[in-house]
Amino acid sequence: MEYTQLGRTGLKVARLVLGTMNFGPQTGEADSHAIMDAALDAGINLFDTANVYGWGENKGRTETIIGNWFAKGGDRRDKVVLATKVYGDMTLDGSPVWPNHDKLSAVNIRRAVEASLKRLQTDHIDLYQFHHVDRDTPFDEIWQAMDVLVQQGKVLYVGSSNFAGYKIAQANETAARRGSYGLVSEQCLYNLAERRAEMEVIPAARDYGLGVIPWSPLHGGLLGGVLKKQAEGGRRASGRAADTLADPAGRARIQAYEDLLDKHGLEPGEVALAWLLTRPGVTGPIVGPRTGEQLESAVRAVELELSEELLASLDEIFPGPGPSPEAFAW
């Protein structure tokens, strides 16, 4: 496994991040524990989760599964850089949200971190991430709450997720005025088929020293050989993948992508991950395996070298917006 620094920090993390969103809803606890063991064996040390994962009536279930895995011992907790998130409410779906039980007020941050620590069976969170922008809470209040948690040793680093470029700037400029360390990472939607992050988010992250952690690197399975799998009787596409395939032009791009990689004898999902690893500013994409086999495929992507010719061909199929700020002007 290859390692890199997380943004401007001294923290070393693997070039792949283990996403745990499937733990609970799609993958049982025993299989989830096996995947986490296999991830450690492969050298993956950054595990990403969120307080709301488990969803519906099982919010918090994913953190509980991870906590039970930590409780098995064997230096599991010491080897893992643990990342979780705060923002969403933890009430059951359909129930009213009590005031101050969601978003990023100091009250909710304090409540949420204590609940996550309990479910995760640990005394600290290595990377505590804002799951979304809170338009109602000023960054001064947010940083005051986070500074207290850092001073208490309950949080070591702070990151963001789904932040626009200007929000990254606002957050870190406010932190600088306060003498706080600020954001060290940004999780954003970024992959071959969705490159809007190159306009502002990634330039802002790089300028402020944030590591970029792309989520949905296969764009909901769209970049994982979806057409070939459908032809072989695999499960049908859903969500973002289904929306793209419903558009003739989008479907043609995916067909061209799969044809190109078939010509080179390469697996689409592995190429999609390897492409992200070539992008400036990217720490490592989040992979959310449901099975051990999917994890093994993701790990192979780290060692995959893409030729300049292939990278150029991928750009032809999935052109990005171009360099910023030139992309805004012409």
- The helix/strand/coil state of 330 is coil
What percent of the residues of the chain are helix, what percent strand, and what percent coil, each to the nearest 5? 45, 15, 40
Contacts of residue 202, Cβ cutoff 8 Å, sequence gap at least 6: 188, 190, 212, 279, 280, 281
In this structure, are residues 160 and 170 in contact, taking their beta carbons and an 8 Å threshold? no
The torsion angles phi and psi of 81, rounded to 5 degrees, stand at -90, 105
The torsion angles phi and psi of 2, rounded to 5 degrees, stand at -95, 150
Among left, alpha and beta (phi > 0; psi -120 to 50; other), residue 166 is: alpha
**C-beta neighbour count of 4 within 10 angstroms:** 15
Q: What is the CA radius of gyration of the chain?
A: 20
Active site residue 53: yes
Catalytic pick among 3, 53, 87, 181: 53
Estimate to the nearest angstrom the gap between the alpha carbon of 57 and the chain centroid.
23
Q: Which residue numbers are catalytic?
A: 53
